């Protein structure tokens, strides 16, 4: 579908130029220099020849078919050029020119105009205000881009809206010596979207790893869907910038988008199994490891080093990344002792010492590779002047090529010396990811392991509960909506929860003291009483909530008092009078909160936390995108910092986790069935050793 | 004092060799290649000439005086060589050879032996098992080291016990293009210590920044003292590896030291104002900024960029580092609008756009430099092919050289191109720190700002309270010690606290029911009763604590019950019978904990936290080294994650912070006066709106 864009058999450059350093010149030069194997058609009204190629005054005079055209013209001329592309039968267009939506209303109008023309002719548009694409395929070598990275072919593909960050990533990959497969930076992205490109790369067999840089998505739902498909097949490494409020502001100022501090993007990454990075260097270095190394089956790392200190640093970072540096098996230790120099340290880290030769390295690598207690190998390789470092590098490569366990290498060398350049080339050409710092190497291995953990999560569909009454819940919402009420009454909230069999503390609604006393006899004391009236917003502050009523006398006094103080406020409510919500008071237990709110284009975002100070002061909450699988609901419980409280502390029993997971899953289904719910706040939910009850809830539609 | 080591006028190399790649060859080669200006005396019993220099069969035949000698001999020969050095009057020796303490008992004995000889002659010893030193001073150029970095002269000095990490740091500094002043890697460090070297560098006017890498200190107290002196004068950037348990194990295996997961090292860094790093790359990159840039006066950063996305990334990282990217003044915005291209974004980040020339960059820099609302400048400088990047670089340098505000630069370029290499050289030679990633540059600026914050902390001495009775406290401890008791009784603990005027909940100790009732009348109800007997360890578990006693009847019943159940356990206590500790019960209030324990070589480490789940489950505690200044005591309160609880939440009033700070300072003085206290645990301390009381305490001597 996007083959014309990414695998063009011919490229026209509208606005090709002989003027050095102009974009119209760079694009043609790059196609030539990089060795594009298709036809290049420079279009220029005044020059018959551009950079040694025959140029055409306009597109219609190009003799052959044109798959892809660059448009490099002042923005005002782009709508007309699009018509000419359409008439020529061009399939895809890269608009490098700026001056569109990013420049305000006038530019936005031009963008609308050329898009209307493109749609008319079925031309796909990449950009505008963009760099373009690169396809390093040796049979194609399509460098349709005005930058100048000239990367070697590889397995990493890169997608970045921002040309600046795209350049940063490409430069980073080139600098660390790793190859690229496809690069795409689509600027304003008015047609071909990041999601579409990711889907294309997902289907590209030569792409082993996808790097995505984003500052937010125009259509998050589309991306969620694509990412779920693609991330299940190959690793996607992503970075979302604009994570802080000021960062988001900086992002919106340069893209003209409405990006805010959305946690939703991170939640999409998490839900779909995309590996998220907060540091662009870490992302680039991790991609290098993904491009050539297998995913570790576990978290146990064997370290081989020929100098002490850096292995200590690596150990710290590996452990901080959730990995382990375990003691090796007795058998491995014995074999190491027999194979290495006498001064070698045969614990893990294994220090082969600086004077170790290729055979010592190979022995250590083989022993690690054969030890079932080791899942990955961390090499710390310093190049002493007296070592045959090239032979050592060849041994590392040989073991790496077996592909049994991932290997990363902290390669400490003086790269100014030619013999060490050769050593590094042996490692890199052999697919051994090399890093300049032990922490960098350790974090790259940590990323491989993190991906392994994600891949090991059980995949399932959200549970569907058959015992629910969706129609009843829908009716409750419809009635409220018809009445023009956005906030549901307590009775309505509990009605909806009960329709989804979500346990609520026993309750009833009454209008008079007599009804209250009669109902209380059935519910049993102690009781909570709340006024139930949408006109009274802050019930607690208004003295509209009294807890712990022990008997009928107290209940009577409370209801009478509320009537006297608050009845006048209810005159303009939809009932015109107060009602009283009576509920069984459940002391003890652990106070919890579950909430939900609509996330633009993504359904609902759910929140879980422990009530009281944990939410209010410590902000110890976890968010996930609904609908939730059982695994996701369970992992919400484990993800909060104070998760240990759920297991019972200071004499409290543990809470009924399975009941809580069930409640969360039922709420998730409720939200999926009732997308009109804008906001839901169940606070508190009281959890006991063998039961869970919603005690108070609020729903806004 | 260490001048002979760091500024040797002549160097002998005992074990100099013509054998390529040997250490004895590398050291002589390095001295020659680097251009050492002093005399070089190779010592070799069989070769009359080494690398073109006249060699001597032994040290005594060297014609001139020898400041410094390398010993590069098998370990067994080192003690004798040390005698020869002594007799020759050598002032300092670098022992590059290994085979000493790091190799076990036999090596340790050799180490003892040569040290005895060195002390006899007053020779200072650097190493053994070490790389050596480098002094880049252009007038000296002493490369007394077998590595091969050949750094350019600069303002950063480096101290690292570990040669491997020392090499890593040197390589990193050379790779990013920044100069070095003095380098020292002292291996086993059996004589000249890290602390001594840091003191020397503190007194070296050419050293502007000191980098310290450590895996723990042999004498932490010595380092604390030196660091406090030196860090007050110039920035010390440090990294402690072995931060995790596994990392510490890795460290101890390669150094033979007893390093554990000591938080004490980090506390020394904090107390003395050393900037601590967890990532060696971040440390190296920060050092580059410290070497040439001033410390920002505040946290407001102005960003100038010629491409959008990387500025977004930088903003995120700057904000995460505690900095701000504020809106510029109206005046600055107007000036920017008048000076920059029409497409430029004049908010902060200021996007001068890719087509900006030197004058646009200069205008933006000048405006930022003049804006009182900006404390530091972040440059994001990408090198478009059409730009005069060298002229732009010269403008950045010109503004940087004014030294008004710190500038860091994310320099995004294709360094394979010669013209961009020149651009980078202009920046680096002009003292503009350049980084390959915006996050790296932002963290380096963050480190400058962090140092600025540390420097702005008020400096004071710990408060001395005149109203205390140290003699009384000392007597209590002495009595317990004489009786052979390590755990003090409640009466003793409260006695000590009261001697330091630390408020405790009213209490008394009784032996009979009658005494209890009489005492209770004075204390007032409700009351807490605890058995007071060192033979009963887990009082609560044994039913030895009852709280909330409301009247004499309840008190009588409780004391009788405890007598009946527990008296037999007290038969072997020092009193031979039970006593009862009565205390006024203080409900409500905020439960707090203050603790202390001895830190090897450092006096006491104090701990503060909020009681209950905050300490037990959330591990929300803060540590500091005593003695504490008022500022340090105050900052303990603010450093815990749940600090907001102290301000009152959910209807609770704020706690009496000044009272709490006073208690902590008095405890600090108590600990300084009573160094024999091994451990102290005041748990809980109850804090109210206008009072603070210790409710329970435990002291081990």
Whether the bond into B61 is cis, omega within 30 of 0: no
In this prediction, residue B194 carries a pLDDT of 95
Q: Which residues of A touch B349 (CB under 8 A)?
A: 250, 253-254
Phi, psi of A481 (to 5 degrees): -60, -45
Write the residue in A414, A438, A617 that is nearest to B149 by C-beta. Answer: A414
User: Cβ contact (<8 Å) for B250 and A343?
Assistant: no
pLDDT for B253:
62
CB A280 within 8 A of CB B440: no
Helical (H) or strand (E) element with B268: helix B264-272
Split at pLDDT 50, 70, 90, the class of A256 is very low
Query: Which of A250, A318, A649 is the closest to B617 by Cβ?
Result: A649
Who among B165, B613, B650 is closest to A309 (CB)? B165
Residue A92 has pLDDT above 70, yes or no: yes
Helix (H, G, I), strand (E, B) or coil at A448: helix
- Residue A406 near residue A376 (C-beta atoms within 8 A): yes
- As a whole number of Å, the end-to-end CA separation of chain B is 41
Task: Name the A residues in 181-220 with CB < 8 Å from any B CB.
Answer: 213, 215
- A685: which residues sit within 8 A by CB, 6+ positions away? A591, A592, A593, A594, A611, A660, A663, A692, A693, A694, A695
Do A577 and A626 fall within a single domain?
no
pLDDT tens digit sequence for B628-652:
999 999 999 999 988 988 998 777 8
**Closest by Cβ to A250, choosing from B247, B325, B645:** B325
For the stretch B202-234, pLDDT in tens is: 999 999 999 999 988 889 999 999 999 999 999
Residue A139 in domain: no
| CATH number, domain with residue B101 | 3.40.50.720
Segment A472-504, tens digit of pLDDT: 999 999 999 999 989 998 889 999 999 999 999
Look at residue B260 and tell me whether its pLDDT is greater than 80: no
- Measure the CA–CA gap between B340 and B676, rounded to whole angstroms: 68
Burial A274-287 (b: 16+ CB within 10 A, else e): bbbbbbbbbbbbbb
Q: Mean pLDDT over residues A528-556, rounded?
A: 84
Evaluate if residue B36 carries a pLDDT over 60: yes
Q: Cβ of A512 under 8 Å from any chain B Cβ? A: no
Q: CB–CB of A630/A460 below 8 Å?
A: yes
Give the tens place of pLDDT for each residue, A142-152.
999 999 889 99
Q: Residue A236 and residue A111: Cα distance in Å, rounded?
A: 31
Query: For residue range B493-547, what is the model confidence (pLDDT) as tens digits?
Result: 999 999 999 999 999 999 999 999 999 999 999 999 988 877 777 777 778 888 8
Q: Phi and psi of B289, rounded to 5°?
A: -70, -40
For residues B526 and B344, give the distance between their C-alpha atoms in angstroms, rounded to a whole number.
72
Asked whether residue B213 falls in the same domain as residue B311, the answer is no
The residue-averaged pLDDT of B285-314 equals: 96
- The whole-number pLDDT of residue B587 equals 82
Q: Quick one: A184 and A268 in the same domain? A: yes
pLDDT at B11: 98
Q: Which of B168, B215, B307 sits opposite A412 (nearest CB)?
A: B168
Both tokens assigned to B24: 């004895």
Residue pairs spanning A and B at CB distance below 8 A: 245
Task: Give the pLDDT band (50/70/90) at residue B261.
Answer: low
Choosing from A108, A133, A158, the residue where a domain stops is A133
Residue A144 lies in a domain: no
Average pLDDT of span A636-664:
91
β pairing state of A407-412 and A142-145: unpaired
Q: What is the 3-state secondary structure (H, E, C) of B539-597?
A: CCCCCCEEEEECCHHHHHHHHHHHHHHHHHHHHHCCCCCCEEEEEECCCCCEEEEEEEE
Instruction: Read off the pLDDT of residues A93-134 as tens digits, 9 standing for 90 and up.
Output: 999 999 999 888 999 999 999 999 999 999 999 999 999 999
More confident residue, B76 or B259: B76
Residues 624-643 of A with CB under 8 A from B: 641-642
Last residue of a domain, one of B292, B311, B328: B292
Give which of A246, A299, A320, A638 to mutate to test B binding, by max B Cβ within 10 Å: A246
The beta-carbon neighbor of B650 closest among A174, A345, A612 is: A612
In the block, which residue shows the tokens 């732009």? Answer: B392
Q: Give the domain-ending residue among A260, A292, A324.
A: A292
Which residue among B345, B385, B645 places its CB closest to the CB of A148?
B385
Least Cα distance to B445 among B380, B371, B388, B378 occurs for B378
Residues on chain B touching A388 (C-beta within 8 angstroms): none
Contacts of B317 in chain A (CB under 8 A): 279
Same domain, yes or no: A550 and A683: no
Check pLDDT > 80 for residue A572.
no
Which residues in A lie closer than 8 A to residue B251 (C-beta atoms)? 312
Point out which residues pair with A159 in neighbouring strands. A184, A212
CATH of the domain at A553: 3.30.1490.20
Residue A283 lies in a domain: yes
Same structural domain, A625 and A479: yes
**Which residues of chain A have a CB within 8 Å of the CB of B256?**
none
In which domain, by residue range, is B372 found? Answer: 295-456
CA distance A582 to B376: 60
Q: Which of residues 381-400 of B touch A (CB under 8 A)?
A: 382, 385-386
For B389-406, write each residue's pLDDT tens digit.
Answer: 999 999 999 999 999 999
- pLDDT, residue A253, reads 62
| Residues A498, A416 share a domain | no
**Does B486 lie in the same domain as B434?**
no
- Write the DSSP symbol of residue A487: B
| Smallest Cα distance from B642 to chain A, Å | 6
CA–CA separation, A269 and A210 (whole Å): 13
- B 440-459 residues with CB < 8 A to A: 440
B347–chain A nearest CA distance, Å = 8
- Domain match, A231 and A328 both: no
**Overall number of domains in chain B:** 5
Is the pLDDT at A573 greater than 80? The verdict is no
Q: Quote the mean pLDDT of chain A.
A: 93
CB contact under 8 A, B168 and A641: no
For the purposes of burial, counting CB atoms within 10 Å of the CB of B177, is it exposed (0-12), middle (13-18) or buried (19 or more)?
A: middle
Residue B474 to chain A, least CA–CA distance (Å): 36
The reply to whether B443 and B426 lie within a common domain is yes
Residues of B in contact with A160 (CB under 8 A): 309
DSSP β-ladder status, A53-54 and A49-50: antiparallel
In terms of domains, do A441 and A404 share one? yes
Shortest Cα distance, chain B CAs vs residue A54, angstroms: 25
User: In which residue are the tokens 């050593």 written?
Assistant: A423
Question: In the 8-state DSSP scheme, what is residue A41?
Answer: E
- Extract the tokens encoding B306: 């010629």
Q: Is B216 left (phi over 0), alpha (psi -120 to 50) or beta?
A: left
Which of A451, A61, A553 is closest to A231 using CA atoms? A451
Beta-bridge partner residues of B528: B583
Chain centroid to CA A499: how far? 34
Tell me the shortest Cα–Cα distance from A250 to chain B, in angstroms. 5
Instruction: Sort out which chain A residues have CB atoms less than 8 A from B247's CB and list them.
Output: 312-313, 315-316, 319
Do residues B122 and B201 both lie within one domain?
no
Residues with Cβ within 8 Å of residue B180, at least 6 apart in sequence: B134, B136, B151, B152, B153, B154, B156, B157, B158, B170, B173, B174
Residue window 232-271, chain B: list those with CB within 8 Å of chain A.
241-247, 249-251, 253-255
- For residue A613, the chain B residues in CB contact (below 8 A) are 642, 645, 649-650
Minimum CA–CA partner of A149 in chain B: B414
Per-residue pLDDT at A249 exceeds 90: no
Distance CA A410, CA A315 (A): 12
Q: Are residues B529 and B628 in the same domain?
A: no
Residue A104, token pair as written in the block: 């305000």
* Number of H-type helices and E-type strands within chain B: 23, 29
A385/B26 CB distance under 8 A: yes
Contact A316 B163 (CB under 8 A): no
B545 touches chain A (CB under 8 A): no
The full DSSP string for B378-445 is: EEEEE--TTS-HHHHHHHHHHHHHT-SS-EEEEEE--TTSHHHHHHHHHHHHTT--EESSHHHHHHHH
> Strand, coil or helix: what is B481?
helix
d(CA B534, CA B578): 10
CATH value at residue A436? 3.40.50.261
Residue B255: pLDDT above 60? no
With residue A667 as reference, give the H or E element that holds it.
helix A657-673
CB nearest to A247's CB, from B167, B243, B319: B319
Of A241, A319, A382, the CB nearest to B167: A382
CB atoms B320 and A244 under 8 Å: yes
CB spacing of A148 vs B613 below 8 angstroms: no
Residues of chain B positioned with their CB less than 8 A from the CB of A302: none
- Say what the pTM is: 0.93
């Amino acid at each position: 579908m996007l083959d014309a864009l990414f695998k063009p058999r011919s490229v026209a450059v509208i606005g090709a130029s002989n003027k050095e350093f102009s974009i119209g010149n760079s694009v043609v030069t790059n196609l030539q220099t990089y060795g594009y194997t298709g036809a290049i058609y420079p279009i220029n009204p005044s020059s018959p020849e551009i950079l040694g190629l025959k140029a055409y005054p306009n597109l219609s005079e190009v003799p052959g078919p044109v798959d892809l055209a660059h448009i490099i013209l002042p923005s005002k001329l782009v709508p007309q050029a699009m018509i000419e592309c359409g008439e020529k039968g061009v399939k895809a267009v890269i608009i490098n020119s700026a001056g569109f939506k990013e420049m305000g209303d006038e530019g936005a109008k031009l963008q609308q105009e050329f898009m209307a023309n493109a749609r008319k002719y079925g031309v796909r548009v990449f950009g505008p205000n963009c760099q373009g694409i690169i396809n390093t395929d040796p049979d194609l070598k399509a460098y349709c881009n005005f930058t100048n990275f000239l990367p070697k072919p590889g397995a990493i593909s890169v997608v970045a809206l921002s040309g600046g960050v795209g350049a940063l990533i490409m430069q980073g990959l080139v600098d660390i010596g790793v190859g690229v497969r496809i690069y795409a930076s689509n600027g304003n992205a008015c047609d071909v979207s990041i999601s579409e490109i990711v889907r294309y790369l997902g289907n590209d067999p030569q792409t082993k790893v996808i790097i995505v840089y984003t500052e937010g998505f125009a259509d998050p739902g589309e991306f969620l869907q694509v990412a779920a498909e693609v991330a299940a097949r190959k690793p996607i490494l992503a970075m979302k910038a604009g994570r802080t409020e000021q960062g988001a502001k900086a992002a919106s100022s340069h893209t003209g988008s409405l990006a805010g501090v959305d946690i939703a993007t991170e939640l999409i990454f998490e839900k779909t199994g995309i590996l998220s990075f907060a540091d662009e260097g870490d992302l680039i270095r991790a991609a290098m490891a993904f491009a050539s190394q297998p995913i570790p089956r576990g978290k146990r790392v064997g370290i081989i080093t020929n100098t002490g200190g850096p292995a200590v640093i690596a150990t710290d970072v590996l452990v901080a990344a959730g990995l382990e540096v375990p003691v090796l098996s007795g058998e491995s230790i014995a074999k190491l002792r027999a194979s290495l120099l006498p001064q070698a340290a045969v614990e893990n880290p294994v220090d082969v010492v600086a004077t170790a030769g290729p055979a010592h390295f190979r022995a250590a690598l083989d022993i690690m590779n054969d030890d079932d207690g080791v899942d990955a190998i961390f090499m710390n390789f310093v190049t002493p002047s007296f070592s045959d470092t090239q032979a050592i590098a060849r041994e590392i490569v040989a073991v790496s090529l077996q592909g049994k366990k991932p290997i990363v290498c902290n390669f400490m060398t003086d790269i100014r010396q030619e013999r060490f350049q050769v050593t590094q080339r042996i490692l890199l050409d052999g697919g051994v990811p090399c890093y300049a710092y032990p922490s960098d190497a350790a974090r790259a291995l940590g990323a491989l392991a993190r991906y392994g953990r994600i891949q090991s999560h059980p995949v399932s569909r959200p549970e569907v509960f058959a015992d629910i009454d969706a129609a009843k819940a829908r009716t409750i919402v419809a009635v409220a909506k018809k009445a023009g009420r956005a906030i549901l009454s307590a009775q309505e909230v509990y009605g909806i929860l009960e329709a989804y069999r979500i346990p609520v503390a026993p309750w009833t609604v009454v209008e008079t003291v007599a009804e209250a006393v009669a109902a209380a006899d059935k519910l049993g004391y102690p009781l909570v009483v709340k006024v139930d009236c949408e006109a009274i917003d802050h019930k607690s502050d208004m003295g509209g909530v009294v807890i712990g009523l022990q008997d009928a006398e107290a209940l009577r006094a409370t209801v009478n008092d509320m009537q006297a103080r608050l009845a006048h406020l209810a005159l303009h409510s939809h009932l015109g009078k107060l009602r009283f919500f009576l509920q069984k008071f459940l002391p003890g237990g652990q106070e919890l909160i579950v909430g939900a709110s609509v996330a633009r284009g993504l359904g609902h975002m759910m929140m879980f936390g422990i009530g009281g100070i944990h939410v209010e002061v410590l902000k110890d909450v976890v968010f996930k995108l609904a609908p939730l699988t059982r695994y996701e609901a369970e992992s919400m419980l484990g993800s909060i910092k104070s998760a240990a409280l759920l297991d019972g502390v200071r004499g409290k029993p543990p809470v009924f986790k399975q009941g809580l997971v069930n409640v969360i899953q039922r709420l998730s289904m409720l939200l999926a069935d009732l997308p009109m719910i804008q906001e839901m706040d169940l606070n508190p939910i009281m959890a006991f050793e063998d039961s869970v009850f919603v005690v108070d809830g609020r729903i806004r539609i």
